[in-house]
Amino acid sequence: MWNSNMNELVSCVLATASTTGLVGWFLGRRRTNAETKGVEIDNEEKEVVVELNNMERLTNRLNEVIIALDNQMAENIKLKQELHALKVAFENERMLYQELLKKYENKI
């Protein structure tokens, strides 16, 4: 009789432990999955922030390059105008030289 009660008690303890373990594993798995999802979401949020910072940095750099290009283009236009003025002045001086040369050649 004692042996039978002992078997039932051991069976009951094993069944309870197994059930508790199974329920604990199931609930723990759900919790672990939820925590893992939370960590994944946090990591994705951090990646988004990093990418936004990179995009902002690149946008600022692009704006700086555009401003520098605009400045270079303005300087290029100014230099072209100066070059044109020098060409006109040179042509005037060349014509004057040609006239003086003709006058000198006529005198000789």
pTM value is 0.54
Find the radius of gyration of the CA atoms of the chain.
46
pLDDT tens digit string along 76-108? 999 999 999 999 999 999 999 999 988 888 876
Q: How far is CA 94 from CA 1, 82, 102, 104, 106, in A?
A: 135, 18, 12, 15, 18
Average pLDDT, the chain: 88
Query: Looking at residue 26, what is its pLDDT?
Result: 72
Q: At 2, is the pLDDT very low, low, confident or very high (cuts 50, 70, 90)?
A: low
